[in-house]
Amino acid sequence: SSIPVLVTGGAGYIGSHAVLALRDAGWPVSVIDDLSTGSRYLLPDDVPFYEGNVADRALVERIFAEQDIGAIMHFAGSIVVPESVEKPLDYYRNNTVASHSLISTAVDAGICHVVFSSTAAVYGEPERVPVDEAVAKLPINPYGASKLMTERMLEDSAAAYPLNFAALRYFNVSGADPAGRSGQVGKGSTHLIKVAVEAAVGKRDHVDVFGTDYQTPDGSCVRDYIHVSDLVDAHLKALERLIERPEENLVLNLGYGRGLSVLEVLDALDKVLGQPIRREMKGRRAGDPPLLISSNKALLETLDWNARYADIETILTHALDWERKLQSRNWA
Ligand code: UDP
């Protein structure tokens, strides 16, 4: 089955990869994005594009009608943790309130399936690692709270209306389209792999290592870095499952179930480059949990999904290829 899908935030990093994957797989796909952080050039020209916000009810109703939309992949939102602490009300507006409007418009239009972009930040500082989906959800910042509230709206809506949903909790999304069509755009990104490949192409002169005295094997923080194409593949499989089983919802972590330290990531990049990137050892960054690794048992058991790009050198190579492309086109 392939029903027309609306991708919100489709001009962003993850959303644009979802658009490409849906299009590659033959799904009719349209995009709504307000271009507050997204970029048109991440999208193919033949994808119907609507510039605007998901909270614009009239616009969303028009897209549903014009494109005969049957399912939504909802990526639009704000995602920077420290910014969410500074501007919590912006986060509740952009993530929670806007999602309320979108879900409500979808329910009124009889749209049945929603795949939602959630986050490991719903767990806060998890009581156990690897983190499974039953771990207590106690977000420690407005970003995580704003996403968790949307999960709850979906859960309650699915119980009350003819709608089912998948809440997909991302670990550390990284890498870029293997075919070089999309990737992460700079604009002051603070994510390790983005920062590291920027240093690799000379946009920065070093990489800071935030914290070397954690209770981890090498003292730096450990994360579960997942390639954006594998992450997006799980979205397509989740959508197929929602269509096949309209009575069921899905709540799944998206990660590989393996951890890499900051120093291991930088070592791997040095290897890919064949030369070392300058590092500066710094103090701990506020709010960083030492160890965050996903259990992906539920993902593997529920969806016919397997990791294709888990190798860190593959992730770094794709991120680096994309960074070079950005640089050569003067895009960011
Ligand atoms: N990190 C680092 N230097 C950087 C950016 C990040 O050492 O320039 C560390 C950060 O402190 C954390 C890990 O890399 O331990 C992953 O951070 P990132 O911001 O990529 O993702 P997060 O896990 O915070 O969502």
Can you give the pLDDT at residue 1? 57
Neighbours of 212 (CB within 10 A): 18
Can you give the pLDDT at residue 186? 78
Closest Cα to atom 21 of ligand 1: 191
- Which atom belonging to ligand 1 lies closest to the Cα atom of 222? 15
Can you give the pLDDT at residue 188? 78
Taking the centre of ligand 1 as the mean of its atom positions, its distance from the CA of residue 293, in whole angstroms, is 14
As annotated, the residues of the chain forming the CATH 3.40.50.720 domain(s) are: 5-173+225-254
Q: Please indicate whether residue 236, judged by its CB atom, sits closer than 6 Å to ligand 1.
A: no
Residue 227, beta-bridge partner list: 174
Can you give the pLDDT at residue 287? 78
Among residues 101, 228, 89, 223, the alpha carbon closest in space to that of 168 is found at 228
Q: Is 143 a catalytic residue?
A: yes
Q: Please indicate whether residue 195, judged by its CB atom, sits closer than 6 Å to ligand 1.
A: yes
Can you give the pLDDT at residue 316? 98
Among residues 74, 73, 118, the alpha carbon closest in space to that of 98 is found at 74
Can you give the pLDDT at residue 189? 86
Measured in degrees and rounded to the nearest 5, phi and psi for residue 145 equal -65, -40
Q: What is the DSSP secondary-structure string of 85-150? A: HH-HHHHIIIIIIHHHHHHHHHHHHT--EEEEEEEGGGGSS-SSSSBPTTS----SSHHHHHHHHH
ipTM over 0.90: yes
Q: In the chain, which stretches have pLDDT less than 50?
A: none
Q: Please indicate whether residue 173, judged by its CB atom, sits closer than 6 Å to ligand 1.
A: no
pTM listed for this prediction: 0.97
- Which atom belonging to ligand 1 lies closest to the Cα atom of 191? 20
Homologous superfamily of domain range 192-223+257-328: UDP-galactose 4-epimerase, domain 1 (3.90.25.10)
Can you give the pLDDT at residue 225? 98
Of 123, 143, 225, 309, which residue is the catalytic one?
143
Residue linked to tokens 């058991």? 301
Neighbours of 244 (CB within 10 A): 9
Q: What is the tens place of the pLDDT at every residue in 44-103?
A: 999 999 999 999 999 999 999 999 999 999 999 999 888 999 999 999 999 999 999 999
Closest Cα to atom 12 of ligand 1: 221
As annotated, the residues of the chain forming the CATH 3.90.25.10 domain(s) are: 192-223+257-328
CATH class of 5-173+225-254: alpha beta
